[in-house]
Amino acid sequence: MGRPAKFDRDAAVEIAMQEIWRHGFEACSVATLSARLGITRSSFYNAFCSREALFLEALERYLATTPDRMLATIPSDAAVLPLLTEMFRALCHDRAVDPEARGCMAVNAVAELTGTHETLGPILESRFQESIARIECLLARAVKQGELPPETDVKAKALALKSLIVGLNLMGKVVPDEATLWAAARHSLEGLGLWAEAETTHA
């Protein structure tokens, strides 16, 4: 099967993710990325085809670890609201714990590439829409489970929630203090009637 690659592809994607997270997509040229990865541009093109392709891989990798992920891996029967609260707590923590305050890679990417980048823009937009839809489903389930009143405007609330998520993520780049972020988040969640103390995980 030919000559094996001299570098760890997975580790490379991780590094690339960190790099793009830090500096943004356009700021990471093939040259700088290759250097950072310890490979030549030749190997770069061979392994990843294009900067865009690597970005998408890096994005996937990022999304797999982001607090947002908690909303996708739905236990299906669990209460929604405590999960939501938990997610916001994790979000505030993640933003504040990062010494570089790079914010959320996905939000950064949307801000940078949406409406600008020919191919990446639409992909990010649809991801965004999907995220909103997922939240909408979750809220609908919360209504069905009696966690929210039946007259809840699920669509508006989902959008308000996503706004809050995006806002906090960007805010975290400027105000990287967990307590402060959490105060704002909790305040908003309470206002939306979505705040719920997490169940004490069986001690």
Half-sphere CA count of 88, side-chain side, radius 13 A: 30
For the CB of residue 144, give the shortest distance to a second copy in the complex, in Å.
20
Please identify, among the stretches 26-34, 92-100, 126-134, 166-174, the one whose residues bind DNA according to the rule CB under 7 A: 26-34
Interface with DNA (CB under 7 A), residue total 21
User: Which contacts qualify for 25-28: CB closer than 8 Å, 24 or more apart?
Assistant: 25/51, 25/55, 25/109, 25/112, 25/113, 25/117, 25/120, 26/112
Structure tokens at 51: 């900067």
For the CB of residue 124, give the shortest distance to DNA in the complex, in Å.
19
Please identify, among the stretches 4-12, 91-99, 142-150, 175-183, the one whose residues bind DNA according to the rule CB under 7 A: 4-12
For the segment 46-65, give every residue that binds DNA (CB under 7 A): 46-47, 50-51
Please identify, among the stretches 44-52, 115-123, 132-140, 191-199, the one whose residues bind DNA according to the rule CB under 7 A: 44-52
Which three-class secondary structure state does DSSP give residue 2? coil
Nearer to DNA, 53 or 156 (CB): 53
Residue 11 binds DNA, judged by CB under 7 A: no
Q: Which residue has the tokens 């790079």?
A: 102
Q: Which does 142 bind (CB under 5 to 8 A by kind): DNA, a second copy, none?
A: none
Cβ(105)–Cβ(62) below 8 Å: yes
Best CA proximity match to 75, nearest among 91, 66, 86, 62: 86
Structure tokens at 37: 């990865």
Residue 43 binds DNA, judged by CB under 7 A: yes
Nearer to a second copy, 38 or 191 (CB): 191
Cβ(117)–Cβ(130) below 8 Å: no
Report the residue from 10, 11, 22, 32 that binds DNA according to the rule CB under 7 A: 32
Site residues for DNA per CB under 7 A: 1-7, 29-32, 39-43, 45-47, 50-51
